[in-house]
Amino acid sequence: MFKSKTDLILSIVDEFGKRFLLELDQLVKPEQEAQQKLLQFYLIFCEEIFRNFERDKKYTEVT
């Protein structure tokens, strides 16, 4: 368990960040134009947010 809600939030952000950066690094190609990289970034970011919420419902619980 977490000592506080802040610890929980920091843990979620840390885990999300690690997964997101790994996936982003694998999908964004160096030869892509800046606009295409930005679009890829946005799409991956949105997909990862919703994937995390679907995977672990405790993130969406408000107490």
SS (H, E, C) 13-62: HHHHHHHHHHHHHHHCCCCCCHHHHHHHHHHHHHHHHHHHHHHCHHHHCC
Report yes or no: 54 and 60 within 8 Å, Cβ to Cβ: no
- Given this model, what pLDDT does residue 1 score? 77
pLDDT tens figures, 32-60: 788 887 887 788 778 877 877 777 766 66
pLDDT at 26 over 80: no
Distance CA 50, CA 44 (A): 10
Cβ neighbours for 27, distance < 8 A, ≥ 6 positions apart: 40, 44
Residue 37 or residue 8, greater confidence: 8
- State yes or no: pLDDT of 8 exceeds 80: yes
> For residue 19, is pLDDT > 70?
yes
